[in-house]
Structure 1
Amino acid sequence: MLKLTKKADYGLMALKYLAEHPEIPALSAKDVADAYGIPAQLLAKILQRLTKVGLLRSHAGMNGGYTLARDASQISAFEVIHAIDGPLFITSCFKGAKSCDLTSNCTIKEPLARVNETIAGVLKSISIHDLAEREHALLQSESQKLITLTL
């Protein structure tokens, strides 16, 4: 079963929180961690990673913290997950040519590739702004596409 890691979940939550509070110049990892009851040290490492890949900006100093590097509507859930967890694969056969002994006889690789691409497409279509605005119409619509996907 495809499942987000805690780190990816925390990363999405953090960016959502930053998008929900544009009036605050910068928020610390502790501010965000306290808001969600998650470990501050772990979140700090996640935010550093997101800064390194250009999704966040880090601001030093007494009133320092983190801000979104781009508008929330221009950052996708896929980007956040990819930055934290790496490429998205629903099975190991998509990781490389030698990751599966059955590749030459496999009859499900192509259908599963379509599922993988669909999931990635849905995640790319969901922005941090969508998450922050709680607009579930987009999420429900895209989720319905996954449910009705035929292999």
Structure 2
Amino acid sequence: MLRLTKKADYGLMAVKYLAEHAGEPSRSAKDIAEAYHIPAQLLAKILQKLTREGLLRSHAGMNGGYSLTRAAKDISAFEVIRAIDGPLFITSCTTGTSVCDLTASCTIKEPLARVNESIIDLLRKTRISDLMDHEVHNAPPQKLVSIASVS
């Protein structure tokens, strides 16, 4: 089964958090770790990696922390995952780097390569803004219909 690593999960959560707090000063690794109950040391390494990859900006000083380098609508889930985990492959044979004894008779390499490309395409189309909570705080409360009043 295809699964993201915990590091990729945490990276997506951190980028989403920063996107939701984009109008505020930079946020510390501690802020993010506490918000999601993520191990702070691991998160700090993930944030540093995302900074090296150009997705985050690091701010030093008393009010230091991290912020996004681009708007959430301009950052894809794929970029975050690739920055943390590297290339995404569902099978080792799609990487082209490993030799398989069954290459001549394999009937699933091409279909799985298409599945892999579809997953990558979906992750490229999924923006961090798509992951954000889009609650409408000013919407009027919805009317609840009582079961007793329906006849």
SS at match of 1:4: coil
SS at match of 2:132: helix
Unaligned runs of 5+ in 1: 136-151
Cα distance in 2, alignment partners of residues 97 and 19 from structure 1: 36
Aligned twin of 2:15: 15
Residues 6-36 of structure 1: CA distance to partner in whole angstroms, max 9, x if unpaired?
0000000000000111232100111000000
Asked whether the equivalents of residues 11 and 80 of structure 2 are also in contact (C-alpha less than 8 Å), the reply is yes
Aligned twin of 1:27: 27
Aligned twin of 1:148: none
Residues 32-69 of structure 1: CA distance to partner in whole angstroms, max 9, x if unpaired?
00000010100000000000000000000010000001
SS at match of 1:105: coil
Cα distance in 2, alignment partners of residues 73 and 29 from structure 1: 22
Cα distance in 1, alignment partners of residues 109 and 127 from structure 2: 29
User: What's the TM-score once normalised by structure 1's chain length?
Assistant: 0.85
Cα distance in 2, alignment partners of residues 99 and 4 from structure 1: 25
Shift in Å at residue 98 of structure 1? 2.8
**1:41 to 2:38 alignment:** no
Sequence identity of aligned pairs in percent? 72
Asked whether the equivalents of residues 73 and 128 of structure 2 are also in contact (C-alpha less than 8 Å), the reply is yes
SS at match of 1:26: coil
* Letter of the structure 2 residue corresponding to residue 47 of structure 1: L
Matches within 5 A, 1:101-140: 101-134=101-134
Cα distance in 2, alignment partners of residues 75 and 121 from structure 1: 14
Unaligned runs of 5+ in 2: 136-151
Cα distance in 2, alignment partners of residues 11 and 134 from structure 1: 20
SS at match of 2:63: coil
Residues 71-124 of structure 1: CA distance to partner in whole angstroms, max 9, x if unpaired?
110100000000100100001101224342212221111110110000001101
Asked whether the equivalents of residues 92 and 100 of structure 1 are also in contact (C-alpha less than 8 Å), the reply is no
Greater percentage in helix: 1
CA RMSD in angstroms, aligned pairs only: 1.3
Asked whether the equivalents of residues 29 and 47 of structure 1 are also in contact (C-alpha less than 8 Å), the reply is yes
User: What's the TM-score once normalised by structure 2's chain length?
Assistant: 0.85
User: Alpha carbons of 1:24 and 1:124: their partners in 2 closer, same or farther (altered >3 Å)?
Assistant: same
Aligned twin of 1:91: 91
* Letter of the structure 2 residue corresponding to residue 114 of structure 1: R
